[in-house]
Every structure is written in C-alpha cells, then in structure tokens.
C-alpha cells in the first residue's frame, strides 16, 4: 500500500506552514522596527535615583565585590548603532588596571570637566572611550546619562565616575546627592564615587561612601584633591582605604609624595590636567624636550606627556573637543618611552 499522503493533504499542510511563517516574520519585523512601545513617565533625578535604589536593593549581593552579569545587546540595538560597534575595537587595546579590591578600570578615561554640551561627549563615546569621568560640579551628568540611553551602550561596557560636591558633605546630604546623581546618569550604580575635595565633614561623607560601596551601589570609592595626610588618615582609621586618588598631576607638578604613597598602598592614582591647566597647556607642549621626543617617536607632544604619565603608573583623563585629538589620546600603546626619556620629562618639575 502506498503510504505517501494524498497531494491535497500535503498541499493544505504546506499552505498552513507558509501562513505561520509569514505571520512570524510580520511579528518579528514589527518588533524590530518599533521595539517596545511602553510609555515611560518622566521623573525627577532624585525620583529616578530612588527608584533605581529600590530596584537595586531587591537583588541580593553576596558581598560588596559581586560582579553583575552583563546584559547582552540585542540584534536590534547593534543594527541601530553601527557606529558604536564599528569603533569598539579601538578600546580593546586600552589596558585595565586592577584596584586593591579586585575591580578593574581602563587606564585612559575621558575627562569631562568644562564640557557641558552633548557633542564632545558623544564623539568621545563614538571614538571608543568606555571610561568617563564626571562630577556634580561639571553639570553634565544628565547629558552623559541621556547619551548612554540614546546610543544604547551596554552599561556593563562602561566605567562611570562621578563626584560629591564639598557643599553636600555630611551623612544625609551625601546620600541625597548620590541618588540624585544616579537619577541624572540613569544608572543603578556608579563604578567610582569620589569626594571631590577635602572640606569640613568629609569624614561623615566617607562613612556613607563605605556604606554605598558595601551595598554595591558605588563599586569603588575614593578621593580627589586630598593631601597626603588626609589620605593616610583614611587608610589608617576607616573601614576602607581609598581605591582611587584623583589629583592634579603633570610634568610641572608630579605630586610625587602622594603618588609614591598610593603605589606603596596599592591605591590607584588618577591624574587630571595631565597636559597642565587650560591656560598653560600650550606652554607645556612647547617645551623643547617634549618637541624633541615627539620627533623621535613620531608622536605629538601631547601623546608624549600622556605616555609619560602611563609609564609612571598613572591613570589619565585627557579631555578633547575634537575627534582627531580624542582618537590621538587613545593611541598610546604602539610605542614605549626609553627610561632615559622618562627621566628627561621628570626633570621638568624643577622648572
């Protein structure tokens, strides 16, 4: 007996399969084009931060160094943002430094001081920066948070720093300011939270930072513009010593004593104004020794200074408003300064 199905039955089955396939394709196309159509209500930065805080606390943290599983980027997000993924390999060459508690940070970050418009920060992300340094005082947290959402950058691929204003030092005001920062940045945590300067009540604020770190809401904590005696006091008398110290550092002002103390105590040292202050940057880069080394290594004087800092074990936060300089500041790992040349730059501090 012929066990093959009748042609009519087979034809009906084929038609049904084709219909199901067409419907499935239609649903997929709709989702791809229009995505989630849920309406999201606008909230104030403080309300956003508190909502994220409640959501974050619902997740049990085994300890303060728990690593969250990264969220995978959907095919839709990748295709909507080809620029980000095309430039992403640039960041693959930026090494990471490990802090004493095990967390890692890219050794180059984008310094956003005085950057209060969207364009420079957007081009930094598109150029390949994954580490961005912000602060309440900079007035750009909301710009950064909005751009991360607009560009659909996976949070797990970013290292975000922000800082507490000295005017907000104190237990209650520190907590309030922190959650307002989370709201503006549109994130559930920051990778690094710093006291922006030494000021009265900094001790109270440091204890709050320790609390935020224990909860996993500030993955790392540290200080900025602190002198050696205050850094030593934290190291000796508090629960956590700083993971990071961020200070003014460049060839004319190398901050040697603090840098050496940080190295001895496994504290990461970050520099801002590595190319000197805005008014002095051109004068610094015109130094004859930097001009000679730039010619020797076929690099710009700025790249020579930034490489000098990296070879001294310093994390750098260059700021640029042009695409060319932003890319140039990342291209520091295809050459190495001779030790004698590092010492030549070290000697500039005498001036």
Q: What are 144-155's pLDDT values in tens digits?
A: 999 999 999 999
Rounded CA gap, 282 and 195, in Å?
30
Please check the confidence at residue 234 and state whether its pLDDT lies above 50.
yes
Give 63's pLDDT tier (boundaries 50, 70, 90).
very low
Rounded CA gap, 308 and 104, in Å?
21
Give 194's pLDDT tier (boundaries 50, 70, 90).
very high
Please tell me the predicted confidence (pLDDT) of residue 131: 97
Please check the confidence at residue 139 and state whether its pLDDT lies above 50.
yes
Q: Which of 124, 207, 203, 116 is nearest to 158 (CA)?
A: 124
Please tell me the predicted confidence (pLDDT) of residue 351: 65
* H-run or E-run covering 30: helix 7-34
Mean pLDDT of 53-75: 36
Whether 181 contacts 162, CB under 8 Å: yes
Residue spans of alpha helices (H) in 128-214 = 141-151, 171-185, 202-214
Span 165-182, pLDDT tens digits: 999 999 999 999 999 999
Rounded CA gap, 253 and 349, in Å?
6
Please check the confidence at residue 13 and state whether its pLDDT lies above 70.
no
Catalytic residue IDs: 138
Give 219's pLDDT tier (boundaries 50, 70, 90).
very high
Q: Which of 93, 89, 65, 95 is nearest to 313 (CA)?
A: 95
Rounded CA gap, 155 and 69, in Å?
11
Please tell me the predicted confidence (pLDDT) of residue 321: 84
Give 278's pLDDT tier (boundaries 50, 70, 90).
confident
Please check the confidence at residue 273 and state whether its pLDDT lies above 60.
yes
Please tell me the predicted confidence (pLDDT) of residue 78: 32
Please tell me the predicted confidence (pLDDT) of residue 350: 67
Record the pTM: 0.75
CA distances to 92, 304, 324 from 333, in Å: 11, 11, 17
Measured over the CA atoms of residue 153, residue 158, residue 164 and residue 170, the dihedral's sign is: positive
Please check the confidence at residue 44 and state whether its pLDDT lies above 70.
no
Query: 28-32, 71-75, 257-261 — which is least confidently predicted?
Result: 71-75
Give 65's pLDDT tier (boundaries 50, 70, 90).
very low
Mean pLDDT of 62-85: 32
Please check the confidence at residue 289 and state whether its pLDDT lies above 80.
yes
Please tell me the predicted confidence (pLDDT) of residue 297: 98
3-state class (DSSP) for residue 208: helix
Give 320's pLDDT tier (boundaries 50, 70, 90).
confident
Mean pLDDT of 150-161: 95
Q: Beta 96-98 vs 104-106: how paired, if at all?
A: antiparallel
Whether 87 contacts 126, CB under 8 Å: yes
């Amino acid at each position: 007996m012929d066990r093959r199905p009748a042609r009519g039955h087979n034809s009906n089955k084929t038609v049904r399969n084709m219909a199901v396939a067409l419907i499935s394709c239609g649903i997929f196309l709709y989702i791809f084009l229009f995505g989630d159509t849920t309406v999201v209500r606008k909230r104030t930065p403080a309300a956003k931060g508190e909502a994220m805080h409640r959501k974050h606390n619902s997740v049990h943290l085994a300890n303060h160094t728990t690593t969250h599983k990264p969220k995978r980027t959907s095919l839709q997000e990748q295709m909507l943002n080809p620029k980000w993924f095309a430039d992403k390999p640039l960041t693959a060459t930026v090494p990471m430094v490990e802090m004493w508690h095990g967390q890692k940070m890219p050794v180059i970050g984008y310094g956003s001081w005085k950057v209060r418009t969207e364009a420079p920060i957007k081009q930094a992300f598109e150029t390949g920066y994954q580490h961005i340094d912000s602060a309440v005082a900079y007035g750009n947290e909301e710009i950064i948070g909005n751009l991360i959402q607009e560009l659909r950058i996976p949070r797990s691929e970013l290292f975000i720093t922000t800082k507490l204003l000295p005017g907000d030092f104190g237990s209650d005001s520190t907590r309030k300011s922190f959650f307002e920062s989370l709201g503006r940045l549109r994130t559930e945590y920051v990778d690094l939270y710093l006291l922006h300067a030494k000021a009265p009540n900094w001790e109270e604020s440091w204890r709050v930072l320790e609390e935020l770190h224990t909860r996993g809401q500030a993955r790392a904590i540290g200080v900025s513009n602190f002198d050696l005696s205050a850094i030593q006091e934290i190291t000796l008398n508090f629960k956590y010593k700083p993971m990071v110290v961020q200070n003014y550092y460049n060839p004319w002002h190398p901050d040697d004593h603090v840098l050496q103390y940080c190295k001895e105590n496994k504290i990461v040292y970050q520099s801002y104004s590595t190319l000197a202050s805005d008014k002095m940057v051109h004068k610094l880069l015109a130094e004859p020794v930097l001009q000679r080394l730039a010619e020797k290594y076929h690099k710009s004087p700025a790249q020579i200074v930034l490489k000098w800092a990296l070879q001294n074990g310093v994390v750098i936060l260059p700021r640029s408003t042009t695409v060319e300089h932003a890319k140039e500041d990342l291209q520091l790992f295809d050459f190495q300064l001779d030790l004698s040349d590092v010492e030549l730059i070290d000697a500039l501090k005498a001036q």
